[in-house]
């Protein structure tokens, strides 16, 4: 079956509208760097939330999620924790508030808030830029592999998947380069509307086709339950035998071990805060810390139901109509191709075009947001800071265009090298993010951590993330994280302890402005010498409670469309009840306290009063630093 003229017309019309809209709003983007990268901090939180959600709704990730739901059933609800998806809960509860209080433009610029302008701060600044640019290239390669494989199934021209990837990604880059944050957010808003309509449509089709209990003929026992033991407990023998081989190859047979690993990794990655990519940009683009928290809550609300409606709908259609063909393929099944195959062979004309337009829109959202992050770091954090700090805004904008094009080309190169979506996914989440975690956890919660420690932790981690996968290819990809984390942590601690702490002024200003909880007692004591009435952040226990409730809320939200479309009504009632109860709890324990958590706590006279201090080489503590608990001292 070739894609119809009607479906192609729908796709072309959508592309034209999105490109024209992006170019029309580009005039608002070229006023200065702040308007280009952050939309002048004037965009409402709910629109930024939709934009962030649309950016996460990528086509490559959707192909992967359809594959894991097909193979692992409802237990796959925990598999996106490898990113981890529940980092949105950490951001919602407290980290986006802390980050937005810095009032900066990029993650690298945020380093000045924590480490000041010391030599260590400059080195750590460079290390963040290096990580950000490496991750941008990784995500471009990730998108490249997915969109190429997807497009090759549908479009009538007989060219390679990589050629399709180059064409589509080059077209998308046009409006992202031209329009900056305004263009990206506005077009993502349009894309999300199209995508939601398409997702709900396919969910309705799948729901109408499946009868209660019908799926049990096509899936092994335990497929429709999210509960598991130490073993996965799924046996596809006699149904689709190759699935058992795939499970073994993935290394997820010991699912209890996998769950422990992704939970351990996920907590550390989430506690580190957002990586310097489009997610961080959306937080910094909000109008206030309170709106930053609301934005991350809204991402969950608007993203989960339509996305998992689509994922579950496609999976159900594949089980009902594609299982015999998969079984006949033998051991060489590419499960990542389930999504495009079902769209092409099962859905009617018209709906195919609508859904393809939505999925291509999702790809455009994620990819445009990714490449929009690269010039922010190159131009603002390298060129403007170290090379030409007094150039005209037009010069910075022009260099942003050039930088974006250069990184797209480099990303294409690595996209040609990558073999599969799963390969690049596991490298990003298990290896590259292991390099990020240690330095970015310690920067929030430990006063003695300094810029030198940050730099050596990041550089050691990035090097390990590039070397370990190639040096030890027999290691399971999920196991890259602890090795990379260990190397990075050694760099953090040694780099910090063999150099001086940051200055009194820098540490005190950060502590009073951001108000983190953690190991900050020495700084608190110093602050109270000048501001005796200053109170530390005492919300640690409440934040921890809200994270537990929030993760339960988010996970249950995912299970609602999954259980609805598959007609697992007892499970649907249970998870819907959990969503309701946890929502009520969060209303009283989190939402109602946002004003307090977001309040400005840096005294207006801080610079005048503390600036009169003699320059300090670091916190002056007599005797050994006293042990302080993880919660703030009273």
Residue 383 or 41, more confident: 383
Over residues 408-462, the pLDDT tens digits come to 888 787 777 666 555 566 666 667 778 888 999 999 999 999 999 999 999 998 8
Cα gap 550→90, rounded to integer Å: 9
Over residues 227-240, the pLDDT tens digits come to 988 888 899 888 88
Give pLDDT, residue 192.
Answer: 84
| CB-CB contact of 233 with 71 (8 Å) | no
Give pLDDT, residue 526.
Answer: 92
Cα gap 380→395, rounded to integer Å: 12
Cα gap 180→541, rounded to integer Å: 39
Give pLDDT, residue 160.
Answer: 83
Structure tokens, 533: 């009435």
Cα gap 515→525, rounded to integer Å: 14
The highest-confidence range among 149-158, 239-248, 359-368, by mean pLDDT, is 239-248
Give pLDDT, residue 2.
Answer: 63
**Helix-then-strand count for the chain, H and E:** 27, 0
pTM exceeds 0.95? no
Cα gap 412→388, rounded to integer Å: 29
Give pLDDT, residue 27.
Answer: 56
Lowest-confidence pick of 92-96, 117-121, 328-332, 432-436: 328-332
What percent of the chain has a predicted confidence (pLDDT) above 90? 33
Give pLDDT, residue 624.
Answer: 35
| CB-CB contact of 218 with 239 (8 Å) | yes
Beta-carbon contacts of residue 145 (< 8 Å; ≥ 6 apart): 60, 165, 415, 418, 420, 421, 424
Residue 473 buriedness (CB in 10 A; 0-12 / 13-18 / 19+)? exposed
Lowest-confidence pick of 96-110, 218-232, 367-381: 367-381
Give pLDDT, residue 250.
Answer: 77
Average pLDDT of the residues in 519-538? 92
Q: What is the mean pLDDT of the chain?
A: 82
What residue spans define the domains of the chain?
A: 5-86+119-259+286-386+395-418
Cα gap 486→101, rounded to integer Å: 30
């Amino acid at each position: 079956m070739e894609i119809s003229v009607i479906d192609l017309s729908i796709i072309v019309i959508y592309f034209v509208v999105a490109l024209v809209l992006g170019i029309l709003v580009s005039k608002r983007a070229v006023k200065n760097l702040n308007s280009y990268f952050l939309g002048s901090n004037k965009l409402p939180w709910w629109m930024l939330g939709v934009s962030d959600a649309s950016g996460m709704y990528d086509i490559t990730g959707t192909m992967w999620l359809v594959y894991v739901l097909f193979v692992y059933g409802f237990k796959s609800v925990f598999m996106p924790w490898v990113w981890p998806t529940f980092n949105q809960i950490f951001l919602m509860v407290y980290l986006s508030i802390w980050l937005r209080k810095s009032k900066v433009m990029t993650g690298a610029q945020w380093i000045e808030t924590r480490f000041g302008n010391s030599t260590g701060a400059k080195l750590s600044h460079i290390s963040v830029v290096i990580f950000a640019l490496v991750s941008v290239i990784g995500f471009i390669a990730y998108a490249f592999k997915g969109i190429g494989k997807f497009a090759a199934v549908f479009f009538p021209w007989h060219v390679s998947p990589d050629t399709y990837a180059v064409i589509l990604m080059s077209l998308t880059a046009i409006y992202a380069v031209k329009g900056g944050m305004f263009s990206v957010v506005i077009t993502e808003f349009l894309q999300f509307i199209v995508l939601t309509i398409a997702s709900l449509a396919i969910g309705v089709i799948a729901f109408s086709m499946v009868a209660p209990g019908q799926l049990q003929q096509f899936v092994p026992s335990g497929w429709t339950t999210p509960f598991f033991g130490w073993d996965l407990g799924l046996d596809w023998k006699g149904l689709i035998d190759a699935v058992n081989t795939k499970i073994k190859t993935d290394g997820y047979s010991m699912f209890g071990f996998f769950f422990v690993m992704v939970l351990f990794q996920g907590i550390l990655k989430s506690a580190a805060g957002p990586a310097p990519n489009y997610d961080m940009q959306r937080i910094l683009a909000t109008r206030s810390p309170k709106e930053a928290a609301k934005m991350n809550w809204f991402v969950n609300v608007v993203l989960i139901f339509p996305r998992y409606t689509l994922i579950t709908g496609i999976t159900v259609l594949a089980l009902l109509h594609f299982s015999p063909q998969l079984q006949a393929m033998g051991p060489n099944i590419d499960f990542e191709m389930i999504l495009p195959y079902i769209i092409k062979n099962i859905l009617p004309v018209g709906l195919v075009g609508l859904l393809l337009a939505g999925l291509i829109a999702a790809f455009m959202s994620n990819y445009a947001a990714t490449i929009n992050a690269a010039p922010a770091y190159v131009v603002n954090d390298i060129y403007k800071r170290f090379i030409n700090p007094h150039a005209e805004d037009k010069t910075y904008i022009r260099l942003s265009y050039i930088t974006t094009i250069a990184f797209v080309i480099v990303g294409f190169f690595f996209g040609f090298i990558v073999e599969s979506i799963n390969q690049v996914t596991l490298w990003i989440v298990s290896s590259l993010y292991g390099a990020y975690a240690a330095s970015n956890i310690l920067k929030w919660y430990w006063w003695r951590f300094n810029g030198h420690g940050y730099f050596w932790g990041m550089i050691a981690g990035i090097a390990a993330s590039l070397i370990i996968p190639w040096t030890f290819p027999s290691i399971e990809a999920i196991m890259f994280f602890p090795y990379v984390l260990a190397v990075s942590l050694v760099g953090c601690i040694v780099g910090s302890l063999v150099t001086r702490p940051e200055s009194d002024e820098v540490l005190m200003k950060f502590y009073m402005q951001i108000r983190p909880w953690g190991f900050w007692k020495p700084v608190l004591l110093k602050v109270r010498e000048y501001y005796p009435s200053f109170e530390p952040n005492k919300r640690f226990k409440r934040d921890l409670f809200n994270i537990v409730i929030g993760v339960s809320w988010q996970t249950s939200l995912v299970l609602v469309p999954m259980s609805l479309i598959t007609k697992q009504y007892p499970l649907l009632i249970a998870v819907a009840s959990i969503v309701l109860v946890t929502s009520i709890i969060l209303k009283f324990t989190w939402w109602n306290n946002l004003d307090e958590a977001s309040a400005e706590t840096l005294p207006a006279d801080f610079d005048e009063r503390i600036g009169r201090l003699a320059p300090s080489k670091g916190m002056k503590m007599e005797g050994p630093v006293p042990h302080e608990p993880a919660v703030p001292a009273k």
